[in-house]
A and B are shown apart, each in its own frame.
Chain A
Amino acid sequence: MAEEVKLTSKELLNQLTAKHYQGALEAKAEGKPVVWATSICPDELLAAMDLTTVYPENHAAAIGARKEAMTFIEHAEGRGYSSDICSYARVNMGYVDIKHAEAQDIPMPDLIFSSTNICHTVLKWYENIAKELHIPLILFDMPFNHTYDVSDNCTKYIRGQLENAISQLEDFTGRKMDYDKLAQKMDMNNATCQWWKKATDWGKVKPSPLNGFDMFNYMAMIVCMRNSEDGHKLFKLWYEELKQKAEEGKGPWNSAEEQYRIIWDGIACWPHLSTTFKTLKKYGINMVTSTYPSSWYKVYETNDLDGMAKAYTGNYANRNLNYGEDLISGLIKDFGVEGVVFHSNRSCKLMDFRCYEVQRRITDKMGVPSVIFDGDQTDPRVFSEAQFETRIQALVEMMEKNKELKRRGDL
């Protein structure tokens, strides 16, 4: 028996990404149904039904990073989609018609599985695709939590939807839900989420062995592999690598030292990933965390549908300002954060229209400086390199001033 070659987590990430997409394309070719799902949805239900699933947000991000988004965006806008709606949606709408991307192909869906805990946008986006492709849509409506905690009313409503979704899946597949298998998938989901959190928690160490832009890449897998052996293996391996780096005192990069530790709030600017990364690195700025580690920390008691409902509706984007303030303040404290970069992302109104107030609150409460820059997750037209760098320079000045005050013992 040949000795197993030990892969790095990055190699494994690339291998699993290829396997994920290849598997989906093959499933479609074999006549098996394919599901399109949103990035934070109770897809344990799909896995328990052995349904092949792809995630258009991941796909749109990959197209954006490959600088290919405009082909699809222009097509969607040509069909009447406003340039003001989410660019992931515009990319995906364009892809439904064009059906080929150099970055990556995905099979067309036979079922949509959409959850509004990330935004209301996905409701409208997938309504349209379901209508155009004449396919069923399973929706999870997770009302915005305007109170600090998730209310019992919402939990009950979402639980009802989970039960309804199970019967919809049974109708779709013609098979009964295997509840033992669902429990296994829930177990696996919980375990993988734990490793995701433990891995990203290495950002707390100074210097952080975690380079936050790597986290953007690994994020694609926590989206699609929470309940699989592969995902579990990947995040455990990533954790072990980061642990080793931390124990060796290694920082995020080999070629530079971490000077400043920040939170990046919001999605990456995929078409300008390299520019944003290099600009930050040039100033020694490492993104040590964000609101994302907790967004995919979907841990609940196995077989507890109420717990599942609460976990899935409880992510940052679906929570009120007080919760957001506490979450970010906690991250600042726990990760030794010195500054915050807010991405005013033209695609994401849900994040944007709260960020001014979040910024004010964390400045008042934590004394941490921050800047806001204009960008977009996939539409390359919105971002300005010059504006980004100017804002980052301003942040560096403010962070440096704080460092100086700390050195003098005045802060």
Chain B
Amino acid sequence: MYKDTIEKLTAAGLNPGKTIAETKKETGKDLVGVFPIRTPEEVVYAAGCVPIGMWGGHTEITLADKYLQSFCCSIMRINLEYALRGVYHDVKAVLIPTFCDTMKCIVENWKLALPQVPTIAFAYPQHHKLQAGMEFTIDEIKRVKHELELALHKIITNEEVEEAFHVYEDWRKTMREFTALAAQHPEIITAKKRYAIIKAGCYMDKAVYTKLVKEINEGLKSEGPSTFKGTRAIVTGIMMEPVDVLDIFEENNIAIVGDDLAIGSRLWRTPAREDVEDVYQKMAYMIRDIEGDTFFFDPEKKKGQMLIDMTKALHADACIVMMMKFCDPEEYDYPIYKAELAKAGVPELYLEFDQQLSSFEQIRTRVQSFTEMLV
């Protein structure tokens, strides 16, 4: 029964610690921590390990204050807090990309916070469309592979990387299908379930996870027309947490029918090139072909139009902005697409939050007012 699978993955996404422990037990594989965003998980997977997403959590911060001021992105502070508490002592290596100024510093502090685990820092090229940029992507991915080999004491063959890439391509394709089907059935895939199911993928073996999502997709295909009568929204941002926010959406009968989230469609909306043979070239082209992503150079700032197009294509009523406090790149993008959404007549709800947020009354009131306004 696919609805049991929905419940299973929802629970998995909402309980990362338990899910990670089960993944380790069930697969018997070693775990490698992967920071946000778009870490080349294929290389980790090729090494026979499970990449585990490191997306912060919901906790008090005390130890991380040794390294970071309070005006730092909560995902990064909490990751560091967990590292200092020993939560990640079991991972075999940690991959950290340097996408923003905060992450550049996190790389440096992380080496001290978790000295016993190899830190593998790397950068994607902001000039992702230039030839020099594509060569840099390939050089960096190969360097990451080499450093992983040293950390894991094993050789990762190119064939293993190719096989892993196929697993991930299958996952990306499956997730594109899932989000499309979920948009057709918000009465089944509610805002919270949608997000939790997606997030579960950060903590599971992708092959195992993809199989389960395929079950859900098949189940959704067998459903009749949707009975959903509430608000259809798209969402943009890094993530939708704390998950209490999702309860508020559900209370107000808001469904998420499309997303531009870092834990979400940004990970899979760019398909691989079929006319490219070499797996590293494929990975570089995938980075090259990214459009309208907050974390990649985009002088045309395509995000606003992409949000407008998504709203139209999915017959959404509004766009919700989940602004991660202290995330510079996201904060810079906002005024540009805010104006574009307004010009296009797309209602927009801006919610600022961090992972430590514990009082939700103000957000509840704003969400209520917004849905009333839409009616």
Seen from chain A, the residues whose Cβ lies within 8 Å of a Cβ on chain B are 79-82, 84-86, 89, 116, 119-121, 123-125, 127-128, 130-132, 136-137, 139, 141, 143-144, 146, 153-154, 156-157, 159-161, 163-164, 320-321, 344, 346, 348-350, 352-354, 356-357
Contact = CB atoms under 8 A, between A and B. Distances in A.
B65 to A, nearest CB: 9
Contact of B328 (A128, A132, A349): A349
A62 B258 CA distance: 45
Given A85-B328, A120-B329, A349-B105, A80 B299 contact: no
Task: Identify whether the interface residues of A are mostly helix, strand, loop, or mixed.
Answer: helix
22 contacts: A79-B335, A79-B339, A80-B335, A81-B334, A84-B71, A85-B331, A120-B329, A124-B329, A124-B332, A125-B332, A127-B298, A131-B299, A131-B300, A136-B299, A139-B126, A146-B107, A156-B136, A164-B127, A164-B130, A320-B108, A348-B101, A353-B68
Contact of A146 (B108, B335, B338): B108
B325 A84 contact: yes
A359 to B, nearest CB: 11
Contacts of A127: 297-299, 301, 332
A321 B115 CA distance: 14
A119 B139 CA distance: 23
B135 A128 contact: no
Given A120-B328, A141-B125, A354-B108, 20 more contacts: A80-B338, A120-B99, A121-B101, A121-B328, A128-B301, A131-B299, A136-B299, A139-B126, A139-B299, A144-B107, A160-B131, A164-B132, A321-B111, A346-B71, A348-B101, A349-B105, A352-B71, A352-B105, A356-B66, A356-B69
Ranked nearest first, the 10 interchain pairs of A and B with the lowest CB-CB distance are A160-B132, A353-B105, A124-B332, A80-B335, A143-B123, A141-B126, A350-B101, A146-B121, A157-B136, A144-B104
Contact of B98 (A124, A143, A157, A349): A143
B257 interface: no
B267 to A, nearest CB: 21
Contacts of A123: 126, 297
Contacts of B270: none
B72 interface: yes
B131 A357 contact: no
Contacts of A320: 107-108
Contacts of B339: 79-80
B331 A157 contact: no
A353 B326 contact: no
B284 to A, nearest CB: 12
Nearest to A77: B335
A117 to B, nearest CB: 11
Contact of A124 (B71, B143, B328): B328
A393 B238 CA distance: 43
Contacts of A159: 132
Contacts of B325: 84
Nearest to A162: B132
Given A141-B126, A153-B140, A157-B125, A357 B108 contact: yes
A349 B131 CA distance: 31
A18 B147 CA distance: 52
Nearest to B140: A153
A348 B101 CA distance: 9
Contacts of A136: 299
Contacts of A79: 335, 339
Interface in B284-343: 297-301, 323, 325-326, 328-329, 331-336, 338-339
B67 interface: yes
Given A119-B101, A120-B104, A354-B109, A85 B69 contact: no
A128 B106 CA distance: 26
B102 interface: yes
A128 B68 contact: no
A85 B331 CA distance: 7
A128 B336 contact: yes
Interface residues of B, number: 51
Nearest to B337: A80
Contacts of B133: 141, 157, 160
A161 B299 contact: no
A174 B76 CA distance: 46
A344 B333 CA distance: 25
A128 B304 CA distance: 12
A80 B338 CA distance: 8
Interface string B122-162: 01011100111101100110010000000000000000000
B301 A349 contact: no
Given A80-B335, A125-B332, A153 B98 contact: no
A161 B130 contact: yes
Contacts of B106: 353
A353 B130 contact: no
Nearest to B105: A353
A98 B136 CA distance: 40
B357 interface: no
B100 interface: yes
B335 A81 contact: yes
A137 B299 CA distance: 7
Interface string B238-264: 000000000000000000000000000
Contacts of A82: 323, 331, 334
Contacts of A89: 332
Contacts of B301: 127-128, 131
B112 interface: yes
Nearest to B335: A80
Contacts of B69: 344, 352-353, 356
